[in-house]
Homo-oligomer: A and B are copies of this chain.
Amino acid sequence: MDFSAYLQRYQSELTDNVIPFWENHCIDHKYGGYFTMLDRDGSVYDTEKYMWMQWRIVYMFATLSMTEYRKDNFIDIAKQGFDFLTRFGKSEDGTYYFALNQRGEPSVAPYNIFSDCFAAMGAAALYRADGGEIYRREAESAMNNYIRRMDNPKGRWEKNLPGRKKRLSLGHYIILANLGNVMKENLNTDQFDEDTDRAIKTVMKKFYNPDLNILFENVNVDGSFDLESCDGRMINPGHGLESMWFVLQYAEKHNDRELIDQAANIIKKLLEFGIDKTYGGIYYFMDALQKPHLELQWDMKLWWPHNEALIATLYAYRLTGDEYFLQKFIEIDQYSFAHFKDPDYPEWFAYLNRRGEATHMLKGGKWKTFFHLPRALFVCAEQMKQLL
């Protein structure tokens, strides 16, 4: 297998297509920060500034400014976002609001700890790119807020009461593992290593169900599985695949062959479970026992699970040499470029129906920003270079 043509296509997609779309359309030159609700042609259809989407742009431009794909303006794009978000985005206790309006006035309360998570990632990448202490301080502050809030993530906005069984959520742990790695790489620190180790162990021991051989989204605090309820049975294949390439990344650094094999096995099972055998592509939500799903959009095909699947399969192939993963990478690559790539405008579609037809023309939204796709193109290109 010669990855040259793939590498060229991924690099070109990143630099000629995806990056320019965001460079040209996402910057709010009037108020600072970014527009993320971008229509097919890049026009703005809503000006709300959602913190996850904003900080992910900071992270991605700062990260790309340290790569061969850099252009001089990347660091400035990231810094202007940082300035806007740190000036307007913090609530009284230092945690980040969920959203600001265009002018920077808080519009949605700081009920969500992933706002702090992505702030930490963005600031950490800026620190490595620029060296300014202000970025390091912000990264550590946001990271500590994230860790501090993990036990009660929604704080006073928590609606669940004791009658609902308390659950652990895969997202909170796997993101901590990823965050720990981002902090280590960008801040050159080992202060979060223990948190990272703990997060990886929790994911592999508590969220993986060996009987059903699948990775769950929500488990009981004691590590048991609640197969009687919808949220207890929920499987999110794309999220599982994202989690597993984080684990592979960790395992490679620790030279942990057993962990690599465990993660590779889970990737295999998630693909077998999550790929639509009729129309191709990966389902969004599933039920571990094939019972009805409460989410209306469970059978839709979203861009980001496919981005994560590209990384997970290529990573697993490089670390295990198992041809199964190469074959799956080729399949998902074909599906993604045939269905998500817009033939007429830059950037990818976000949402397809089960048959693989685009249901929305938007290129950015409340949940899609400059993040999963450029990260996948960049990380896959890095894998390909190593494979070459």
Contacts and interface: CB of A to CB of B under 8 A. Distances in A.
B160 A108 contact: yes
Contact of A163 (B100, B160, B228): B100
Interface stretch (A132-140, A200-208, A351-359, A369-377): A351-359
Interface residues of A, number: 49
Interface stretch (A79-87, A290-298, A312-320): A290-298
Nearest to A158: B109
A109 B161 contact: yes
Residue among A100, A162, A359, A362 with max Cβ neighbours from chain B (10 Å):
A359
B97 A161 contact: yes
A98 interface: yes
A23 B229 CA distance: 23
Interface stretch (A39-47, A66-74, A255-263): A39-47
A101 B293 CA distance: 19
A242 interface: no
Interface string A142-168: 000000000000001111111110000
A383 to B, nearest CB: 30
A107 B160 contact: yes
A156 B156 contact: yes
A286 interface: no
Interface in A97-130: 97-101, 103, 105-109, 111
Contacts of A97: 161
A310 interface: no
A46 B229 contact: yes
B107 A163 contact: yes
Contacts of A366: 294
B106 A162 contact: yes
Given A108-B159, A159-B109, A229-B46, A292 B164 contact: no
B157 A159 contact: yes
A300 interface: yes
Nearest to A104: B163
A218 to B, nearest CB: 13
Closest 4 CB pairs of A and B: A105-B163, A107-B163, A292-B362, A107-B164
30 contacts: A37-B294, A39-B292, A45-B291, A46-B229, A46-B230, A47-B229, A97-B161, A99-B164, A105-B162, A106-B161, A106-B162, A107-B160, A107-B161, A107-B163, A108-B164, A109-B158, A111-B159, A156-B156, A157-B157, A157-B159, A293-B360, A294-B365, A296-B359, A296-B360, A297-B297, A298-B359, A299-B353, A299-B359, A353-B353, A353-B354
